Structure 1
Amino acid sequence: MITQPPEDDRFDVDRAVQDALDRLTLMANASEALSSTLELETGLRRLCRVLVPALADWCAIDLVEQDAKGRLRRVVVEHREPDAFPSGFLEGLLPAADDHSQAPLARALRGAGPLRLSDFPAPEETTGADSLHVLELQTFRQLGARRAVLVPLRARRRVLGVLTLVRNGPDCPSGMDSQERLPLIEELAHRVAMAVDNAHLHAQISNTAERLQRSLLPDLPRDGPLDIAARYDPARASAEIGGDWYDAFLLPDGALTLIIGDVTGHDLKAAVSMSQMRNMLRGIACDRKEPPGKILARLDAANEILYPAQTLTCLYALVTKPDPEGQWLLHYAAAGHPAPLLVTGTGDTRFLTAGRSLLLGAAPDTIRPDGEESLPPGSTVLLYTDGLIERRSETLDDGMTRLRQHAAALARAPLETFCDELMTGLGETSTDDIALIAVRIPPAGSAPYTATAE
Structure 2
Amino acid sequence: MASEGAVGGGDDVDAVLQAALQRLALLAEATDALSSTLDGAVALRRLCQVLLPQLADWCAADLLDEHGLAHRVVVAHWERLPASHLEGPLPPVLEASSDPLARVLRGAGPLVVDHGVMASMEDGSALHAAQGALFSELGARSAVIAPLRARRQTLGALTLARSGDAFTLTENDLALVEDLAHRTALAVDNSRLHASVQSTAEHLQRSLLPTLLDVAPLSVAARYVPARTAVEVGGDWYDCFALPDGAAALIIGDVTGHDLSAAVIMGQMRNMLRALVCDRLEPPGDILRRLDVISHTLYGGHTATCIYAHLEPGPHDSWQLTFANAGHPPPLLVSHDGDTRYLSSGHSVLLGIEPDTPRPSSTHTLAPDSTLLLYTDGLFERSGEDLDRGLARLRQHAAALTREPLEVFCDELLAGLVHGGNDDIALLAVRLPPRGLKPPAEEPRGAGRTVPRRSRPPRTSPAMRRG
Helix, strand or coil for the counterpart of 2:413? helix
Q: Distance in 2 between matches of 1:399 and 1:88?
A: 39
2:208 to 212, 216, 221: 216
Which string of whole-angstrom CA distances, capped at 9 and with x for unpartnered residues, describes residues 390-420 of structure 1?
1225322122112222222333333233223
Partner of 1:12: 12
Q: Distance in 2 between matches of 1:335 and 1:169?
A: 70
Alpha-carbon contact 1:121-1:137 (below 8 Å) kept: no
The structural deviation recorded for 1:426 is 2.2
| 1:294 pairs with 2:286 | yes
The 1:129–1:307 alpha-carbon spacing in structure 2 relative to 1, beyond 3 Å, is farther
Moved more, 205-214 or 297-306: 297-306
2:152 to 147, 157, 160: 157
Partner of 2:57: 57
| 1:326-405 to 2 correspondences below 5 Å | 327-392=318-383, 394-405=385-396
Residue identity opposite 2:170 in structure 1: D
Q: Distance in 2 between matches of 1:99 and 1:237?
A: 40
| 1:97 pairs with 2:89 | no
Which string of whole-angstrom CA distances, capped at 9 and with x for unpartnered residues, describes residues 132-153 of structure 1?
0111122122222222211111
Q: How many residues align?
A: 443
Partner of 1:145: 140
2:171 to 178, 181, 192: 178
Q: Distance in 2 between matches of 1:147 and 1:309?
A: 64
Alpha-carbon contact 2:197-2:231 (below 8 Å) kept: no
Partner of 2:70: 72
Identity of aligned residues (%): 55
Partner of 1:254: 246
Give the TM-score normalised by structure 1. Answer: 0.89
Q: Distance in 1 between matches of 2:95 and 2:258?
A: 42
Alpha-carbon contact 2:75-2:83 (below 8 Å) kept: no
Q: Distance in 1 between matches of 2:307 and 2:25?
A: 53
The structural deviation recorded for 1:224 is 3.0
CA RMSD of aligned residues (A): 2.6
Tell me, which stretches of 5 or more residues in structure 1 are unaligned? none
The 1:100–1:283 alpha-carbon spacing in structure 2 relative to 1, beyond 3 Å, is farther
Q: Distance in 2 between matches of 1:273 and 1:148?
A: 56
Which string of whole-angstrom CA distances, capped at 9 and with x for unpartnered residues, describes residues 261-297 of structure 1?
2233445554444333322322333333322223223
Q: Distance in 2 between matches of 1:281 and 1:222?
A: 19
The 1:106–1:276 alpha-carbon spacing in structure 2 relative to 1, beyond 3 Å, is farther
Partner of 1:203: 195
Q: Distance in 1 between matches of 2:377 and 2:334?
A: 18
Residue identity opposite 1:346 in structure 2: D
Residue identity opposite 1:350 in structure 2: R
Alpha-carbon contact 2:76-2:83 (below 8 Å) kept: no
Q: Distance in 1 between matches of 2:404 and 2:377?
A: 23
Alpha-carbon contact 1:102-1:129 (below 8 Å) kept: no
Residue identity opposite 2:68 in structure 1: G
Moved more, 220-229 or 427-436: 427-436
The structural deviation recorded for 1:210 is 1.7
Helix, strand or coil for the counterpart of 2:171? coil
Alpha-carbon contact 1:314-1:359 (below 8 Å) kept: yes
